[in-house]
Chains A and B, each alone.
Chain A
Amino acid sequence: MNIDNLLKMANQIGQFFESQPDREQALMDISTHLTNFWAPAMRRELIAHLEKSSESGLSNIVEQSLLIHKHRLIE
């Protein structure tokens, strides 16, 4: 899939959770949202992109969430 679109969608999700008061929970909620609503292939592509890019194009909160909860996303 078009990685730019995936990045945009992921960052939009990050923008929502950025405003939630509990950062730890927000990081978990981002990964939960992706797990609940994104098809596995989309999640795999996003993680693969993150792993091979020095500048992922992801917001900090999304990048953090993916790194911490990677196992949930591509298990």
Chain B
Amino acid sequence: MYQISEKDFGTPAQLAEQQVTLEIDGMSITVPEGTSVLRAAAMAGVNIAKLCATDSLQAFGSCRLCLVEIEGRRGYPASCTTPVAEGLKVHTETDKLATLRRGVMELYISDHPLDCLTCAANGNCELQTMAGQVGLRDVRYGYTGKNHLQDSKDESNPYFTYDPAKCIVCNRCVRACEEVQGTFALTIDGRGFNSRVAASQNETFMASECVSCGACVQACPTATLIEKSVIETGQPDHSVVTTCAYCGVGCSFRAEMKGNEVVRMIPDKQGSANEGHSCVKGRFAWNYANHADRIVNPMIRKSINDPWKEVSWHEAIEYAAKEFKRIQDKFGRTSIGGIVSSRCTNEEDYLVQKLVRAAFGNNNVDTCARVCHSPTGYGLKQTLGESAGTQTFKSVDEADVIMVIGANPTDGHPVFASRMKRRLRQGAKLIVIDPRSINLVKSAHIKADYHLKLKPGTNVAVISAIAHVIVTEQLHDKEFIKNRCEEKSFNDWLSFASRAENSPEALEAVSGVPAPLLRQAARLYASFPNAAIYYGLGVTEHAQGSTMVMGIANLAMVTGNIGRAGVGVNPLRGQNNVQGACDMGSFPHELPGYRHVSDNAIRNQFEAAWNVTIEAEPGLRIPNMFEAALDGSFKGLYCQGEDIVQSDPNTQHVTAALSAMECIVVQDLFLNETAKFAHVFLPGSSFLERDGTFTNAERRISRIRQVMPPKAGLADWEVTMALSNALGYPMNYRHPSEIMDEVASLTPTFSGVSYSRLDELGSIQWPCNTLAPEGTEVMHVDEFVRGKGKFIITQYVPTDEKVTRRFPLLLTTGRVLSQYNVGAQTRRTENVQWHDEDQLEVHPHDAEERGITDGSWVGVESRAGKTVLRAILSERMQPGVVYTTFHFPESGANVITTDNSDWASNCPEYKVTAIQLVAVKESSQWQNNYQAFNRKQIRFLSDRERIDTDMVENS
């Protein structure tokens, strides 16, 4: 059902510049050419009755309710399928139309259960509303004729039900699945009276290809498809616009509420990132916020071998501050640091880095972008001058060629993937560069023109070979290069790229990509007016991650595919606020706005504003912190919202480092894996419980708005502030808006950003300043941020993580649609019904050689460690390559991954780990140890000394 309090115009908006004036019920209205009469009427304030029409879908013209009369035209055309024309005179309410509409409604209602008072859609049902609007008073056919009222309900999906008894076969769900989501899982099965909505081949929704995006539920005008939460709770009474807390698409949602309780999350039509679409995570997987595992009282303990003790906020904060001071007194100022997360807001990220720089007095602050997109920050800064993607999501609507490298958008960025698939169905060409056959390679109505199925670790060889084809076949944009790029850097790079050693033929043995295929793909990329590159962690999480990012930028520049809509370099950020965390100065070498700490002028500005001296040297990165912990020089850590034990590589190395530390303070919703090594636990607040902003992959800053009070009493930014005050560095913000005001005052690219401006514009893509007061959709339009674009030589260097006789296979890791990152949120939702364990995808040949069968247990061993996973045989893999996810801690996927990392940024090489597989029957030693440790830590939590909350509240 449509969101409450949102107007439905019936058919989509048209963007034509040509305007048309017509008359509707005597009122003159001017609309863009191509607009339907139904929409024009809605724009004029005339709501024509409708059922099969909704403005997220193309007109269908089946329900026969939106009939109108048009002077000079015969009959009663459907207004949804009738485009406006100059001078048209339309009548929407006549006696004849009223009779026709009532007749249609009679037919609908004759086969509909009349249980409105007890129906979950009561109060928000379009059928009910239309019956009222057309003045239905009687059904001449009676209610005892042939009907569908006894059809059984499909309750298989954990989040919504399908009740065919209430279906009016308007086709909106089927069209939503096709047009909006692009999965084509639904159809109308049967003909005439037997027509029914069917999922896949008449399967249950759960057994079908349905990806549970919720588009069909949102499109349904009745209670046929409706959220279980609405059935259980009733209709919401108000809504608050906020932003999803999952991936880097940053979808806008309306949290529809009853009091402080969320009834459902509805994707916001006005949201520029998602334009009313959603995925299973954002739409449905939000109830982790109310999970019983939430810890809502602060806890402390002396040692990780002690049970926890609940304490007041004051006591916990004082304890943490005292411990940090003790450690600094004993081991020095640089012996502590902070780690912040892309799951935190901009304001929280900003505060943590400020706390570290101002209160800790060092630059030992890092963010989880270290382990995902830090190479993007480095590579794009070097070549283009700004550490951010160049486009807006809607830019893909104008792309002629789409190149997807090392990304799996249908799983990782599903809402953007739907948009991309829509463009592909319109005819855009597709090149996929990925070791696996991801869904985009071949799915409903989508087939990649070229899939370069390279060997893991050879991205740079492939990008250099593509560049070689382009320059040696004279496909480069000489005019763009001459006007926009550094001449010397181009000439040096041209000489490099032209070398025979970089030809596809020379690199075929290295990459595994057939040279003719690569040549054709390169020609395709360079031959169309608009070619856009989208990439993910399959680019960055390599020993040459930064080199590859620079290679991508080279490719965009050499073909002139930058600086306008439809082109560009588009990093798909893994988590919701990766971009924002980086923007806010969460890296140890940079202040907010990507300005190096050694820049005296910039540092002086921050010193003046913060009234403190800031260290002029870079601090420790996350892997450096672990190394320093193991050598005894790093002893204290404040970790907000990040689970380094589960997400960082070489788990045993990480846990050894944490075990060597004296005070670890974890701020999170749950006792995550890192918290099991912590001494202070500070309860975090979910995205529903706090105010702030997230910045998505297109640099779009969007508000998250508090819809319920923090369960632990304090929002995360208030906790950081309290810690800073306890350490002696005063912070006194009254609201996150004041933090954003400070960011804006110190960061030129944010100077026009404020909460009031965000409320006014909905969202803002930075840079936003006097030069771009409403933000910037496309970057580098007339010149690059650095002035001239810089080509950088990208020599392929094989990774140290090589296959050997002992480790003959390569492991690469990623994620699935239903789970998110370390799974702390999604594992605590019904999404586990789709994916309840990490599995190892193995090519059947590799499995057969080792006696591994589908569904059997398999030991996975690398140079770093050993674990056991369930094998799934899959021809999506190429022989020699296996794949797993890292959503479940007990799987130990990162026990296998190694310390190997990107040369420039230390981003771990998650995507290449040499391994061996062995059929086994029992868990690994690491898993046995983990289970024992985990049991002990869970016991320490359940046996914790409880606090008298009444006493604390009153104190």
Contact = CB atoms under 8 A, between A and B. Distances in A.
A12 B617 contact: no
Given A2-B631, A33-B904, A36-B598, A21 B793 contact: yes
A12 B903 contact: yes
B795 A40 contact: no
B630 to A, nearest CB: 7
Contact of A21 (B364, B492, B621): B492
Given A1-B631, A19-B793, A20-B793, A37 B589 contact: yes
B899 interface: yes
B334 A16 contact: no
Contacts of B334: 39, 41
Given A2-B631, A5-B899, A37-B618, A16 B904 contact: yes
Contacts of B588: 39
A15 B906 contact: no
Nearest to B903: A12
Nearest to A10: B903
B389 interface: no
Nearest to B800: A8
B620 A9 contact: no
Nearest to A38: B618
A36 B334 CA distance: 17
A18 interface: yes
A47 interface: no
A39 B617 contact: yes
A33 B905 CA distance: 10
A41 B632 CA distance: 13
A5 B898 CA distance: 12
A14 to B, nearest CB: 9
Nearest to A33: B904
Contacts of B631: 1-2
Contacts of B159: none
A42 interface: yes
Identify the interface centre among A8, A18, A19, A20: most chain B CB within 10 Å of its CB. A19
B496 A19 contact: yes
Range of interface residues on B (Cβ < 8 Å): 20 to 34
A1 B903 contact: no
Interface string A19-62: 11100000000000101111111100000000000000000000
Contacts of A33: 904
Nearest to A5: B627
Nearest to A15: B797
A19 B903 contact: no
B619 A39 contact: yes
Nearest to A22: B492
A13 interface: yes
B624 A39 contact: yes
Given A9-B903, A9-B906, A12-B903, A39 B630 contact: no
Interface string B101-125: 0000000000000000000000000
A1 B617 contact: no
A41 to B, nearest CB: 7
B326 to A, nearest CB: 21
Interface residues of A, number: 22
A1 B628 contact: yes
B624 A18 contact: no
Contact of A42 (B492, B495, B547, B624): B624
A16 B624 contact: no
Contacts of A13: 903-904
Contacts of A12: 543, 903
Nearest to B901: A9
Nearest to A14: B903
Contacts of B793: 19-21
Contacts of B543: 12
Interface in B462-518: 492, 495-496
A39 B620 contact: yes
Contacts of B903: 9, 12-13, 15-16
Contacts of A20: 793
Identify the interface centre among A13, A20, A41: most chain B CB within 10 Å of its CB. A41
B596 interface: yes
A51 B57 CA distance: 70
A41 B633 contact: yes
Contacts of A8: 800
A16 B618 contact: no
Contacts of B617: 39-40
Contacts of A36: 589, 596, 598, 618
B582 to A, nearest CB: 14
A9 to B, nearest CB: 7
A15 B899 CA distance: 18
Contact of A18 (B364, B630, B795, B800): B795
Contacts of A15: 795, 797, 903
Contacts of A41: 334, 628, 633
A16 B628 contact: no
A37 to B, nearest CB: 6
Interface of A: 1-2, 5, 8-9, 12-13, 15-16, 18-21, 33, 35-42
Given A20-B793, A37-B618, A37-B905, 13 more contacts: A1-B627, A2-B627, A2-B630, A5-B627, A8-B800, A9-B906, A12-B543, A12-B903, A15-B795, A35-B598, A36-B596, A39-B619, A41-B628
25 contacts: A1-B624, A1-B627, A1-B628, A1-B633, A2-B630, A2-B631, A5-B627, A5-B899, A9-B901, A12-B543, A13-B904, A15-B797, A16-B547, A16-B795, A19-B496, A19-B793, A19-B795, A21-B492, A21-B495, A21-B793, A33-B904, A36-B596, A37-B589, A37-B904, A37-B905
**Closest 5 interchain pairs by CB?**
A19-B795, A12-B903, A1-B627, A21-B492, A40-B617
